Structure 1
Amino acid sequence: MDFGLYGLHRDRNVDPEVLARRARLAEEAGFESLWVGDHIALPAGEGNPPRLEAMIALTYLAAVTSRVRLGVGLIVLPQRQPVLLAKQLTSLDVLSGGRLTVAVGAGYVEPELNAMGVTLSERGARTDEYLAVMRALWGSAPSFTGRFVSYDGVVQHPSPVQRPHPPIVVGGHSPAAYRRAVRQGSGWYGWGLSPDETAQSVRTLAETARGGQRPAGLGELEITLTPSEVPDLDTVRRYADAGVDRLIIELEGIDDDEVDGVIASVGEKLVGQV
């Protein structure tokens, strides 16, 4: 079982010194990965905490760490321009020495999607096409023709360090998300599920993969899960039994003066125990 840490892009962590210190603390504690989320403009009046933009936050994290993997999850793919995003992700993979993991989702906050010029009804189609665009660019294909994006006679250099591209993890609990994970992802990312709920999702993914829906070259689907609270060792073992490969611990809801202690505690009590 690997352990990730989610949330260093928001709240007090937007302070560069706090962000760097906690990132290094997590790396030293044995966390496998650091993850940041992707919201650009959330509805007003909901008490949203300050948060850094995901690409910028990951670039900073790449500079202040040396070993820990860096994950963006879930990036709301339909509200990103995929030609630009492919270049940004390649640059992150290069600058981090091949430590990037990309987790994508279709999004659900309609005012945010609308602000970025996307309708809720077309988010799924955009997500699938944008994944295809990025893979085409990472594969040096000089042209692409789609419903939302087309280009011709252009390529991007350098290529990602990880070939053919950084791992792509697909998040979400809908049938469409399960299908997308099985058909296009190296992994699936679930959020806030209990061990029993996770086991059901893993079974659903396995059922979806039957009948040759998963391309042979993608290998076994890696399962990532963010639980609703920091788990104890017994709960971690239950998640492992459910098929989870990586647990990502979320910082939201933890008092800021306790965050450093939680990072150290997870490293001491959980990392390497399962």
Structure 2
Amino acid sequence: MGLGLGLGVSWTSSAEFAQFARSAEATGWDSIWLSEHLTGPTPAALPALAYAAAVTSNIRLGTSITVVPGRSPVELAKTLWTIAELCDGRLLPIFGLGTAEDAEHAAFNVGRRHRGPWFDAALPVIRALLRGDRVTASSPYFNISDTCVTDGGAAAISDLWMGGRSQTELRRVAKLSDGWLASFATPLQTRNSIAFIVNQAAEMGREFDKEHFGLLLPYGRLSRSAAIADLLDHAYPGIDPDELCPVGVDALRRVLDGHAKAGVTKFILVPDNRPTNWSLELKLLRDDVVSAAARSEIVRLAE
């Protein structure tokens, strides 16, 4: 079970973030996940993960997600390779188009209709560069000539996962990705999306690993924050809020069961509220996860 910070929970000092990262490792979480949102208060994910790598030893470090359109694939591959080397292969990048917000598109200097084509052109280049290949590639968005970003060997990154929810995005997952991370999805939605990805991949002659489906899940240990309650009310009307952000162990168990039966194998819990003490909060959250898994017939935690 991984631990994510999402877009709403942050920190005010390096000491607080170091406490968060060290506490996550000490309390048994298998990974830390940071989201990317240029125009909000969320700190930049990749530099923060590099810092987390320096203050931890074993916990894995993921992005949820790293935005590709608007970036040089060479610069992004170089950054990922560097962090992967510094953290001894603990980096788990997940790629996507970014949030559907005009301010974000403007910040990345790429319009809505160009995001998909940019991604389609860039991700194979990033993959090749991380393999240690010398790459020559031309597109309307970048031109690369005989370029290599590593020492000639493959980067310590085994798989490239993607996010996305529309059929176009899921078809892209089936074609280009090694895994899929869902967010703000009901069990029925993950079931349908996973079936779509697997079927599309088969039609393309690809075998999609059924262990490579994940979910980013907001969770309220004691209550649901006003901010996320408002988000769910406006962005996901008609859906039971407990399906998208459960509160308490019983609701958490039901949601984990539903997604596990739908085919999700990896979970990232996102605490809904920022605590005053990360060490205590992460222990309490972990206790809730262990308790929910113990009551489940299908969810098992890796120890």
SS at 1:147 equivalent: coil
Q: Which amino acid aligns with 2:97?
A: A
1:186 touches 1:220 (CA, 8 Å); kept in 2?
no
* Matching residue within 170, 177, 194 for 2:162: 170
**1:222 maps to 2:212:** yes
Which residue number corresponds to residue 4 of structure 2? Answer: 6
Once the two structures are superposed, the pairs formed by residues 1-274 of structure 1 within 5 Å of their partners are 3-7=1-5, 11-40=9-38, 42=39, 48=40, 50-107=41-98, 108-139=100-131, 140-158=133-151, 159-162=153-156, 165-211=157-203, 213-216=204-207, 219-220=209-210, 222-230=212-220, 231=246, 232-251=252-271, 253-257=272-276, 260-271=279-290, 273=294, 274=300
Could you tell me how far 1:11 is from its partner in structure 2? 4.5
**Per-residue CA distance 1:236-269 (angstroms, 9 max, x = gap):** 2222112111111113x31423754442123234
Q: Is the 8 A contact 2:97 2:115 kept in 1?
A: yes
Task: Tell me the CA shift for residue 152 of structure 1.
Answer: 1.2
How far the C-alpha of 1:202 sits from its partner, in A, is: 1.8
Tell me how far apart the structure 1 counterparts of residues 122 and 12 of structure 2 sit (CA, whole Å).
29
TM-score normalized with structure 1 length: 0.86
Residues paired across the two proteins, number: 260
CA drift of 1:170 comes to 0.9
2:127 partner amino acid? R
Q: Which SS does the other structure have where 1:13 is aligned?
A: coil
In structure 2, C-alpha distance between the alignment counterparts of 1:128 and 1:182, rounded to whole Å:
12
Letter in 2 for 1:256: P
The structure with higher relative contact order (CA 8 Å, sep 6+) is: 1
Q: Decide whether aligned partners of structure 1 residues 84 and 255 sit closer, same or farther in structure 2, where only a CA change above 3 A counts.
A: closer
How far did 1:63 drift? 0.7
Contact 1:8 1:19 in 2 (8 A): no
Question: Do the aligned residues in 2 keep the contact of 1:78 with 1:118 (CA within 8 Å)?
Answer: yes
Unaligned runs of 5+ in 1: 43-47
Structure 2 residue ranges without an equivalent (≥5): 221-245, 247-251, 295-299
For residue 172 of structure 1, give the secondary structure of its aligned residue in structure 2. Answer: coil
User: For the structure 1 residues 89 and 58, does the alpha-carbon distance in structure 2 shift closer, same or farther, using more than 3 Å as the test?
Assistant: same
Name the % identity: 27
Task: Give the alignment's TM-score, normalised by structure 2.
Answer: 0.78
* 1:182–1:214 CA contact under 8 A, matched in 2: no
Deviation for aligned residue 1:166: 3.9
Counterpart residue identity of residue 126, structure 2: M
Report the alpha carbon displacement of residue 229 of structure 1 after superposing the two structures with TM: 2.6
Shift of 1:214: 5.0
Q: Which moved more, 1:181-190 or 1:235-244?
A: 235-244
* C-alpha contact 2:135 2:145 (8 A) present in aligned 1: yes
3-state SS in 1 of match to 2:37? coil
Secondary structure of the equivalent of 1:210? helix
Q: 1:10 to 1:16 in 2, by over 3 A?
A: farther
* Matched AA of 1:117: N
1:257 aligns to what SS in structure 2? coil
SS of the residue corresponding to residue 219 of structure 2 reads: coil
* 1:103–1:171 CA contact under 8 A, matched in 2: yes
**How far has the Cα of 1:61 moved from its partner?**
0.8
Q: 1:13 to 1:69 in 2, by over 3 A?
A: same
Distance 1:73 1:39 in 2: 10
Aligned residues of 2:23 and 2:278 also touching (Cα < 8 A): no
Q: Give the 3 Å change call, closer, same or farther, for CA 137–61 of structure 1 in structure 2.
A: same
Q: Is the 8 A contact 1:183 1:214 kept in 2?
A: no
Is residue 185–residue 221 contact of structure 1 (8 Å, CA) maintained in 2? Answer: no
CA contact (8 A) 2:130 2:155 kept: no
